[in-house]
Structure 1
Amino acid sequence: MLREIATLIDFNCISSHDDLLASMISLIDLKVGDRVNLDIDLSGSGLIYPDLLLLIVARVECLKKNGVKVNCSLINFDATSNRVNYASRINFFEFLGIKLEEGFKRRDRQGRFIEISEFNETNIYQVFQEIMRILIVNGVNEDMLTVLHFCLNEILDNTLNHASPDFRYGAGTGFIIAQFFPTAREIRIIIADTGQGIHAALTRHPKSRFKDLSEQEAVSRCIERGVTNSLGLGFGLWATSQMMVKNQGDFKIYSGSSSLQNGKLVKTPSWNGTINYLRINTDIPVNHIEIFGEKSNQLDMFQEFKESQFGNIENLW
């Protein structure tokens, strides 16, 4: 029997990823032909972080691809609201099919943020370049850039490699947004997909050594060095977690009903797929040697990347 449900996402009641996932519980396990009327309340004051808006987009796009009919509407709408203008600028309404006339002039966002974007094997390198540009021009120290250059490339590749049960590079797709917040001296990056999730990715590959892990065990162990389903070295999430501890930022992974938040396993509202969230402090340096050791080739790789893409960074802006 087909269902029709109504869901409200009220940003006056949401202040975290967990809050948002809880508000979207009714959008899980819908079938082809089901209908969703999704009301979004952006009224009020205060910043709505872009990573929250991206998660709504990712969930809605997943529903549409699965044959669920979704109608998105704004309630308590105020066209002059800073929240509305910000959501519009990062292409939130465009993805949801809500047509609004923007009452502002768009400025060049390069080096400051990336709008909500879907990535796949055809545009992944362009997305990677744009993230690195934000990191480079906003004061992240070069040692930490060396680590981030490796880690972010690995996380993006994980989506293309592991999000799909096909276990084929490029079969998976994801969403990303990144932004520098100068007052807080931090960069927030979220990379999310609505694929099979960490547990299935680790346990269902025929060559995996981790077929017997429970969901909680899979999420908990995914940041251990060497934990992989055989389609990689199991190094990317480990290096990311190590770096974020030393940076005193945040690194959160959501998959299924489990979340790893700064290394602590937490039961959370369910997410079908995988979310990687990083909050990076731009004024707390991390030495790449602490992560990779003295004899790493990561620094040379980063220097080659920076020179090939950006030349003399001091003359860019």
Structure 2
Amino acid sequence: MNINRILSEYFKNVSPTPTIEMFDETTLFSVYKHIISTLQKVPEIEQNVVKGLAFCLYEVLDNIITHSGKKNGITMLHFDKEQSRMRLVVADDGIGVWKSMSQNPVYKNIDEPTAITLCIQKNVTDGNGMGFGLFSTSRLVTNAGICLKIHSGSHSMTFDGLKSEIKESRLWQGTIVYLDLHSNVDFDPDEVAKDCTEEYDEMFLADEDTNLW
């Protein structure tokens, strides 16, 4: 995976260098928990933003293991105290959104821009996942976001919380999910999981070890 390219495109001129973690199926939860617990300890970050992120991040990480065709992925996390801004990348160099979604007969005839646009809608999946990770992430951006950007193949989509824009982009073999948030916004974190609480409960609440609060 071209880590330097991700750094140059999404974290240009930021200081300090983002925290980078690799994960696979066995370390996915520990990386998830480390990211959330790290953010919880920063007093300048509004905790409802962290709670909102906790709702959706695990599923976004799991998307890589479930859908990418690769065994591992990468996270990059950066917090800017002066700008009250938090940036997170979750990336892989797998098959990409389009090829993954086309495995579901419902989406077999769509093109790449359509696949990327649809992937933030509820219950959109290749048939092997729950389909709420990127949907809930888009809800997080609506409440606390600057933007959500999904780059896969030769297209990227940017969602600003109100509308999305798709455009041709330099080829990335795989998928990059970039999340840019205001870290000082107070909102009801339940809004992030709204309309998908059953899926969230099924994934997390049966396991006491997932209780981060």
TM-score tier by shorter-chain length is 0.7 to 0.9
Q: Secondary structure at the residue paired with 1:279? A: strand
Q: Distance in 2 between matches of 1:241 and 1:140?
A: 20
**TM-superposition CA deviations, 1:218-257 (whole Å, max 9, x none):** 0111111121111122111011012112213221100011
Q: Is the 8 A contact 2:37 2:212 kept in 1?
A: no
CA deviation after TM superposition for structure 1 residue 150, in Å = 2.2
**CA RMSD, 1 decimal:** 3.0
Say which SS state the counterpart of residue 107 (structure 2) adopts. coil
Instruction: Report the counterpart of residue 234 of structure 1 in structure 2.
Output: 131
| 2: CA distance, partners of 1:283 / 1:185 | 6
Please list, as runs of the form range in 1=range in 2, the aligned pairs for 1:133-212 lying within 5 A after superposition. Answer: 133-138=37-42, 139-164=44-69, 171-203=70-102, 205=103, 207-212=104-109
Unaligned runs of 5+ in 2: none
Judged with a 3 Å threshold, the aligned counterparts in structure 2 of structure 1 residues 285 and 161 are, in CA distance, closer, same or farther, namely same
Structure 1 counterpart of 2:13, one-letter code: I
* Residue of structure 2 equivalent to 1:59: none
Counterpart secondary structure, 2:211: helix
Asked if structure 1 preserves the Cα contact closer than 8 Å seen for 2:92 and 2:176, the reply is: yes
> In the aligned structure 2, how far is the partner of 1:294 from the partner of 1:216?
25
- 1:88-103 equivalences in 2 (<5 Å): none
Structure 1 match to 2:31: 127
The residue identity in structure 2 corresponding to 1:305 is: N
> Structure 2 counterpart of 1:281, which letter?
H
Find 2:117's aligned residue among 220, 241, 256. 220
| 8 Å contact from structure 1 (residues 192, 274) kept in 2 | yes
2:36–2:54 contact (8 Å) kept in structure 1: yes
Quote the offset at 1:191 in angstroms.
0.9
- Which structure is larger by alpha-carbon Rg, 1 or 2? 1
Structure 2 Cα separation of the partners of residues 294 and 254 of structure 1: 26
By relative contact order (CA 8 Å, sep 6+), the higher-ranking structure is 2
* Count of residue pairs the alignment pairs up: 199
How does 1:1-317 map onto structure 2 within 5 Å?
16-17=9-10, 48-49=13-14, 114=19, 116-138=20-42, 139-164=44-69, 171-203=70-102, 205=103, 207-262=104-159, 263-293=164-194, 296=197, 301=205, 305-307=211-213
- Percent of residue pairs identical: 26
- Partners of 1:159 and 1:181 lie apart in 2 by 27
Cα distance between partner residues in 2 of 1:152 and 1:295? 14
State the distance in 2 between where 1:267 and 1:220 align: 13
* 5+ residue gaps, structure 1: 1-8, 21-46, 51-85, 91-112, 165-170, 308-317
Give the stretch that moved more between structures: 252-261 or 127-136.
127-136
